[in-house]
Amino acid sequence: MRLISVIVPAFNEEACVNELAERLKRVFDIESKYSFEVVVVENGSIDNTWDRLKQISENDNRFKIVRLARNFRMDGGLTAGLDFVSGDACVLMTADLQDPPEFISEMLRKWEDGWENIYGVVTKRTGTGPIRTLNSRLFYLVAGNLTDGRIPRNASDFRLVDRKVYEAVRSMKERNRFVRGLFAWSGFKSLGLPMVRAERYGGVSNAHTLKVIDLAFKGIFAHSYKPLKLITVFGLLLSFLSAVSLIPLIYLWLFHGVPFAGFGTLVGILLLLISFLFLTLGVIGEYVGLIYEEVKARPNYLVSETLGFNSK
């Protein structure tokens, strides 16, 4: 029997993990021609998530737990999970049940048809506020244009990937990881399946606006050099406009004396140029920060303890 691994990062998900385990078990019963393992990455929770996961693992040895030393965010948890799985294919999903476990069966059918990277494309978000929805739309619009369409619009982390795909991504040791972008960059035979993103089963979302925006910026900068190129293009354009504007000014100086068009105009132009300089420094600073993280070469996660990996 071929083995399907399931990776689930969990941070403060005590209200969801029991229901998640039950729904996954029902999927496993339906897909009886496969064997399954679930690697739940306990991502530095401060509630009772760890205790509930221990009980789940003790009752069913298909559930294996990796406890991280602290919270390494969603992409750190996914990276840890990828290092512990061994299946012929691997499913990546969230613990809050916004990624419906029943969708795994549909992805398995496409894997059986020969697709190697099957990901959910969110057609509707339930229980998501307008700010978060707007952030998502803006991110995919900007990321898609800056990465030449490599990051598909509304693609989620919820996906099933063949062993060759997750091993390729696992071999990438970069520090600034945007796992969704890494799978998109790797290529392979990919297919997006429409899905409705459900409301959280319980608990409170930890995907706050500032954290989401920070992740979005890292995802874009880690997968595109176009912001640097845009700075160059904008700088050349400003230089060209400045050169063109000198022509009438030289003419006025030669034939009509030196005019003083107005203090406000000069201040406005100076503010525009200064703001552009600060924007330039900000973008360059983001790239320097990414380089700084890479040069330190610290691990993407630290494991505190594991549970269930010696079970037969």
> Per residue in 221-242, pLDDT tens?
665 656 666 666 666 676 666 6
User: How does the average pLDDT of the chain come out, rounded?
Assistant: 79
Please tell me which residue, 146 or 247, carries the higher pLDDT value.
247
CB 96 within 8 A of CB 148: no
Please tell me which residue, 161 or 134, carries the higher pLDDT value.
161
Confidence tier at 172 by pLDDT (50, 70, 90)? confident
Confidence tier at 312 by pLDDT (50, 70, 90)? very low
Which of these, 80, 76, 73, 70, lies nearest to 39 by C-alpha position?
80
Task: Name which of 177-191, 223-237, 252-266 the model is least confident about.
Answer: 252-266
Nearby residues of 61 by Cβ (< 8 Å), 6 or more positions away: 308, 311, 312
What is the per-residue pLDDT for 264?
Answer: 45
Percent of the chain with pLDDT over 90: 34
Mean pLDDT of 14-23: 92
pTM (predicted TM-score): 0.70
Q: Which fold has domain 3-206+299-307?
A: Spore Coat Polysaccharide Biosynthesis Protein SpsA; Chain A (3.90.550)
**From residue 36, how far is each of 5, 28, 33, 106 by CA, in Å?**
6, 7, 10, 16
Q: Give, in degrees to the nearest 5, the angle at Cα 191 between 136 and 222.
A: 45
Relative orientation angle of helices 130-146 and 209-223, to the nearest 10 degrees: 10
53 pLDDT more than 90: yes
Task: Name which of 30-39, 100-109, 268-277, 291-300 the model is least confident about.
Answer: 268-277
Per-residue model confidence as pLDDT tens digits over 66-98: 999 998 888 889 999 999 998 999 999 999 888
